Amino acid sequence: MAKAAQKLVGLGTRLGTSLVTQGPKVAGEAVQWSRPRLSKFWYYARVELTPPMPSDIPAISNGFSKIIASARTGKFMNLTVKQESWVNTLICAEVAFWFFIGEQIGRRSFIGYNIKSDYEPASYI
Amino acid sequence: MAPAPVAVSPLIKFGRYSALLLGIAYGSRHHKTLQKKEDVILARKEKMKAEEEKKKAAAQESKSEGSIFD
């Protein structure tokens, strides 16, 4: 019993000293590691992930009217399957996924709604 | 050099971010509705429990009120 306590105390002191001596170094290395990756992320995000600006409104309404016109005149049936229809399907799927991510943020849980209640699920242990 | 970033069409950007905001609004609204329903059920259960406690207490009282051996 005393020996176990001694071992715990030793472990604690070793952790403490290693945290103090190696901590700043490890943190610095983490920053170094993440810097090129972050810059790469910003390089793409600044162009591709920016939210739409009010200056884009004419382009947005143009895009909408083009879609409606192609649906009305039946021009969408002339799209190729591999180049355009498949890519458009994937884009629609991606927009749908953004909706589900938003729902997860709104309900503050990844899987399902956490409602406060007195329901206790069955535990098998 | 790395592939150049693609200029995403504004329509797609508008669709993405509006889908995100709609999703957040729907998630929080649905959570609120479900929580409200659950609160009603919980309140009813509490009332039932309180009434049962009162009835049990009244039964205890009447049982130990008087015995025939007194």
Please, which pLDDT band fits residue A94 given cuts at 50, 70 and 90?
very high
**pTM of the entire structure?**
0.73
The complex's ipTM works out to: 0.75
pLDDT at residue A79 is higher than 70: yes
pLDDT at residue B26 is higher than 90: yes
Answer whether A32 touches B (CB < 8 Å).
no
A56, closest residue in chain B (CA to CA): B10
Mean predicted confidence (pLDDT) in A109-122 = 88
**Chain B hits for A43, Cβ within 8 Å:** 2, 5
Long-range contacts of A106-113 (CB under 8 A, 24+ apart): A106/B23, A106/B24, A106/B25, A106/B26, A106/B27, A106/B28, A106/B29, A106/B30, A106/B31, A107/B27, A107/B28, A107/B30, A107/B31, A108/B27, A108/B31, A113/B30, A113/B31, A113/B34
pLDDT at residue B24 is higher than 70: yes
pLDDT at residue B36 is higher than 90: yes
